[in-house]
Amino acid sequence: MPAEPSDPDEAAREADEARRLRAHRDAALTPAERLARVHELCRQLAGIRPVARHKR
């Protein structure tokens, strides 16, 4: 990790790289594991409730 801030284009490339790395890591899962993961993630996401506009 370089010490200095990246330019916006580099930041976008880093974000894309992170997405690729995550996809590569998750490719090691079996179809059953992947399905269980998606099921659990959707269960958690369904637990999100919008409340109200934030008052600063």
Partner 1 sequence: MLPDLAGAISALSHAGVRFVAIGGIAVAAHRVIRATEDLDLVPDPARESIDALANVLVALCARLLRNPEREVDAEVRTALHRSRNLTVTTSRGDIDIVQRLPGVPSFAILATDAWEATIFDVPFLVCSRAHLIAMKRARGSALDQADLERLLDPGH
Contact residues toward partner 1 (CB under 8 A) are 1, 3-6, 8-9, 11-12, 14-15, 17-18, 21-22, 26, 36-38, 40-42, 44-54, 56
Task: Give min distance, CB of 13 to partner 1, in A.
Answer: 11
Closest CA to 37 of 26, 48, 52: 26
Phi, psi dihedrals of residue 38, rounded to the nearest 5°: -60, -40
Task: Give min distance, CB of 52 to partner 1, in A.
Answer: 5
Rg of the chain's alpha carbons, rounded to an integer? 17
Q: Tell me which DSSP letter residue 3 carries.
A: S
Task: Give min distance, CB of 8 to partner 1, in A.
Answer: 5
